Amino acid sequence: MSHSSTTTASPAPSVPHTPLPKLPARRRNAQDKQYRIGNIIVTVLLSLGAIIMLAPLVWTFSTSLKTHEAVFALPPQWIPAPAVWENYLRVWSAGPLWSGIKNSLIVAGSVTVVGTVASSLAAFAFAKMRLPAKNVLFLVLLAGMMVPFPSMMIPQFMMFATIGWVDTLLPLIIPGLFGNIVMIFFLKQYLDSIPDSIIEAAKIDGASFLQIFAKLILPVIKPAIAAQFILWFMGVWNDYLAPIIYLNSPENQTLQLVIASFNATYATQTDYPLIMAASFIALLPVLIIFVIFQRQIIESVALTGAKG
């Protein structure tokens, strides 16, 4: 698969080929018309699908603005009247939502910032530097991706328990600081397309490897780093299994755990507006990041598949 495969609906590059025999004008018009009718049908179907995709999210937002009673109204109200915006004030004192956001930011921020530096330097070394058996080493790291997290989570937990880190954020942060093999893989692919001669020339000029990385490599792989950074950040932000193993006290929990315990606590009191407000707050940051960076995210994801 080519490097330039993107998802933007750009016209395919014109490949030299023998032109199709010209159809009689009437038949071509008929075909155009058929295609246009097809487009209308497809658009209608896609719109119906889009409604199904968005309905649960809209429903969440709508429920978060309702009174206790309006939640159980039949037929259901899509636009709550009156809209109870106070739910979004109430939610902050109803549980440790604020500390949840803070903890998630600490974990996701430190892991992705430090881990991205570690991953980029490693990708540079794997792609462009002399190191005996580096390809074997790289394949071993890659094979490690196949080990399911559940198969190592219990010994990992005991390791961190022995040094007294349970119920702190450290077990979520420390492993990530060492880098991320998915990111290394992706950046290495990207670097493989840069000619070695540029780097050799810089080496002869006496540049150090950190200088080569900063001046030559970084500018080229910046977009790839940015996209991978965003994807990783969203992944850590949305993580649940590792946090639920390590974090017990409410004030130490990450946002995802906080909303899950909102769900468990307030469902028994049927305070659904509060649960939905908390969930919506948890969804919002990632939704905003996605809307802003959607082109980079989508292209980067599409490329991962093409490489796979």
Partner 1 sequence: MSTITRRSTLHRKEQRVALIFVALPVIGFAVFTIFPLLFSVYASFTEWNGISAPVFTGLANFQAMMVDPYFWQAMWNTLFLMIGIPIGLSLSLLLALALNRKMRGTTFFRTVYYVPVISSIAAVAILWQWAFNGDFGLINQALAMIGIDGPNWLANTATVKPAIIIMSVWKGMGYSMLLYLAALQSVPRHLYEAASLDGAGVLQQFRNVTLPMLRPVTFFLVVTSIIGGSQIFIEINIMTPGGGPEFASASIVWYIWQKAFNYLQMGYATSMSLVLGLIVFAVTAIQFRLNRRNQFSID
Residue 280 binds to partner 1 (criterion: CB under 8 A): yes
How wide is the angle at C-alpha 295 spanned by C-alphas 291 and 297, nearest 5°? 80
- Out of 187, 224, 227, 303, the only residue in the binding site for partner 1 (CB under 8 A) is 303
Residue 23 DSSP label: P
Binding residues among 141-160 for partner 1 as defined by CB under 8 A:
141, 144, 146-159
Between 181-192 and 272-307, two packed helices, what is the crossing angle to 10 degrees?
40
H or E stretch at 46: helix 25-64
CA 229/CA 176 separation, integer angstroms: 12
Q: For the chain, what is the radius of gyration of the CA atoms?
A: 26
Say if residues 258 and 97 touch (Cβ distance below 8 Å).
Answer: yes
The H-assigned helical ranges of the chain are: 25-64, 87-93, 97-128, 134-144, 150-162, 170-177, 181-192, 196-204, 209-212, 218-237, 241-246, 255-267, 272-307
Binding residues among 90-129 for partner 1 as defined by CB under 8 A:
118-119, 121-122, 124-126, 129
* Minimum CB distance to partner 1, residue 54 (Å): 6
Residue 129: strand, helix, or coil? coil
CA 256/CA 282 separation, integer angstroms: 7
Which CB sits closer to partner 1, 37 or 89?
37
Residue 175 binds to partner 1 (criterion: CB under 8 A): yes
* Minimum CB distance to partner 1, residue 249 (Å): 15
Binding residues among 55-84 for partner 1 as defined by CB under 8 A:
55-57, 59-60, 63, 71-72, 74-76
- Out of 140, 214, 218, 292, the only residue in the binding site for partner 1 (CB under 8 A) is 140
Most distant CA pair in the chain, distance: 80
Span from 22-30, 87-95, 220-228, 297-305 in contact with partner 1 (CB under 8 A): 297-305
CB atoms under 10 Å from CB of 75, counted, come to 5
Question: Would you give the binding string for partner 1 spanning residues 15-54, x where CB under 8 A is met?
Answer: x-x--x--------------x--xx--xx-xx--xx-xxx
* Minimum CB distance to partner 1, residue 93 (Å): 20
How many of the chain's residues bind partner 1 (CB under 8 A)? 106
Beta carbons within 8 Å of 239's beta carbon, 6+ residues apart: 172, 254, 256
* Minimum CB distance to partner 1, residue 83 (Å): 18
Which CB sits closer to partner 1, 5 or 269?
5
CA 262/CA 274 separation, integer angstroms: 8
Which CB sits closer to partner 1, 17 or 26?
17
Residue 139 binds to partner 1 (criterion: CB under 8 A): no
* Minimum CB distance to partner 1, residue 248 (Å): 10
Which CB sits closer to partner 1, 2 or 93?
2
Residue type at position 300: S
Question: Would you give the binding string for partner 1 spanning residues 229-268, x where CB under 8 A is met?
Answer: -----x--xx-xx--xx----------xx-xx--xx----
Nearest to 169, CA basis, from 93, 234, 110, 230: 110
Which CB sits closer to partner 1, 190 or 237?
237
CA 5/CA 3 separation, integer angstroms: 6
Binding residues among 201-230 for partner 1 as defined by CB under 8 A:
209
* Minimum CB distance to partner 1, residue 104 (Å): 10
